[in-house]
Structure 1
Amino acid sequence: MEKSDRFLRLELQLEPVLPAREVAIAYLNGCGFSMFEEQPTGLVAFARESEWDEQGTQTVLAELRTMADVNMSSAFVESENWNAQWEAQYEPIDVEGRIMMRAPFHPAPTSGLDIIIQPEMSFGTGHHPTTWQMMRCLLDLDLEGKSVVDIGCGTGALAIAARKLGAAPVVAFDLDEWSYQNTLANCERNELEGDINVLFGTVESLSDELGTYDVALANINLNVLKAEMHTYAKHLAENGVIAFSGFYTADVPALRAAAEQVNLKYISETSREDWACALFVKTAHSA
């Protein structure tokens, strides 16, 4: 087995859980970890062995121990075993009977939007409350003929849903190679190959390639959202809307403050299992 075929599974038990869990997700993302499972007592994170920064991970753990008691365990798992385990536990996600997110091995719904997402090592299968809320948000937007960008697309689920709801053109990008490849594959599974422009990189590295969009979607952790807020506003058309998720309801004031600095006006928010989804519009004076 080659090194690149294995993943490191890192499990962290944290006391107190917050804010250590949010800090762990933000920092481990820069150490090669591309998938996170939040748990009531901490989290489980996965990194491809070839992309794992061991020294960086130790630095993150040292930082976490300044704010919480940390119990850590880790083990390498084969990718085949991981996917088999995930598939065995994976259930279709029903968004109010209007969107069904399912794996290829599940039967197609009899009505509503059908989105096929192969369960892989990337965030956004619909099981996380933030992905569900972002999907629900799309249903309230008039996407017909609107340009959409999915920032940090993960599996590509949001971009695929937007395209199936009539959006065009649609762009999706991610800084994680696995997510980029998974999005390409999921576009093909949904017969949208070539209909969604899938890019590899960050909003900063792709800034010259990206245009301005009527709708932007960003389901990322709070620290990244705050750091990149100015760039999001730059790529949003006047009167365009942007939906944010990936943070707790208690963090909405901090997000609003960051958004208002670049004249993104708050419209509304929803919550699910203490996770928030917030909608903003770009005003005439936005950056």
Structure 2
Amino acid sequence: MNMQYVGCYFKVRPLQPGTDILIAELGAAGFESFVENEDGLNAYILKDHWDPACLDEIYVLHSGEFDISYETEEIAQVNWNEEWEKNFHPITVDGRCTVRAPFHDTPGTEYDIVIEPKMSFGTGHHETTHMMIQHLLGTELNGKKVLDMGCGTGVLAILAEKLGAVNIDAIDIDNWCYLNSLENAERNHSREITVLEGDAGLLGGKAYDVIIANINRNILLEDIPRYAGCLRPGGVLLLSGFYKDDIPVIDALCREYSMKQERALERNHWVALKYRSLS
């Protein structure tokens, strides 16, 4: 299928955290794929979804906090695999878990995850995915039922299974992420993962020991009550996709639903929080 895209090529100074903030805002505006480089970021959006005015709503472009310039062009087709292979390098988290592509050498780490993300998020390179991997490595998952909400590539669900979790649901509203998670689950010989396309509306009547939600602040604030309703007593809720300044509002809502913060991680202004249900 030959889909036309618009590419936006951003030069960002300083690179961090400017590039990460830009990715978060562009993702919310409908951009589907991002390739980071030494100058900044290439971002891609379907031509049918492109409206130049959408960039007027990207706060970081106009805040004055960063020096960001950009150019745009229409492109007939992007070879996502080629872009992926040029820009992706394997990462290792806490010396225990490696996330790599099929063309990389097999590492000597305890947990080896092979993914090919194409246009999905979740390579492990982004701070939020990296911190969620850290949280999972420090959480007892053996025999636990797990939800990976906003699963992207499925990397966190795959790690959860490798850590002993069973009956894992991986859910994403984006069709590309749904299909990519199916592919990556098969690639990693996962047998405990059920991939579903949809949102928190799929959670009715379900119960989990551990819920992973790496999405964004606004969706989390909307869906935390649903997560609380699905979390078994003593269960763990892992949240990321927001900044340090967002912690108070996230924390207040979690406390309202009888969840206590146990651990907080921070990387380049992004945070990942671990909560435990008290009821």
The TM-score range, normalised by the shorter chain, is 0.7 to 0.9
Q: How many angstroms does 1:75 deviate by?
A: 2.6
Q: How many angstroms does 1:229 deviate by?
A: 1.6
1:198 paired with 2:199, answer no
Per-residue CA shift, 1:58-97, capped at 9, x if unaligned? 2562474996367553234455533202212211111122
CA distance in 1, matches of 2:12, 2:207: 41
Per-residue CA shift, 1:196-239, capped at 9, x if unaligned? 100001113x133x611100111112222122221221221121
CA distance in 1, matches of 2:186, 2:60: 43
CA distance in 1, matches of 2:130, 2:19: 24
Letter in 2 for 1:25: A
CA distance in 2, matches of 1:116, 1:183: 12
Instruction: Please report the TM-score for the alignment, with normalisation by the length of structure 2.
Output: 0.85
CA distance in 1, matches of 2:260, 2:79: 46
- Which 5+ residue runs of structure 2 have no aligned equivalent? none
CA distance in 2, matches of 1:62, 1:258: 27
From 97, 103, 106, the counterpart of 2:104: 106
Alignment of 1:131-142 (within 5 A): 131-142=129-140
CA distance in 2, matches of 1:274, 1:121: 24
CA distance in 2, matches of 1:18, 1:100: 24
Letter in 1 for 2:24: I
CA distance in 2, matches of 1:20, 1:125: 16
Letter in 1 for 2:195: V
- Return closer, same or farther for 1:231/1:72 CA change in 2, 3 Å cut-off: farther
From 248, 252, 263, the counterpart of 2:243: 248
Alignment of 1:1-287 (within 5 A): 2-3=2-3, 6-11=4-9, 25=24, 28-29=26-27, 31-36=29-34, 44-49=42-47, 52-55=48-51, 58-59=53-54, 61-62=56-57, 64=59, 68=63, 71-77=69-75, 80-192=78-190, 194-204=191-201, 206-208=202-204, 211-284=206-279
- Return closer, same or farther for 1:97/1:22 CA change in 2, 3 Å cut-off: closer
CA distance in 2, matches of 1:102, 1:265: 34
- Return closer, same or farther for 1:59/1:269 CA change in 2, 3 Å cut-off: same
Letter in 2 for 1:91: H
**Aligned residues, how many?**
275
**Higher mean Cα deviation, 115-124 or 9-18?**
9-18
- Return closer, same or farther for 1:273/1:23 CA change in 2, 3 Å cut-off: closer
- Return closer, same or farther for 1:172/1:196 CA change in 2, 3 Å cut-off: same
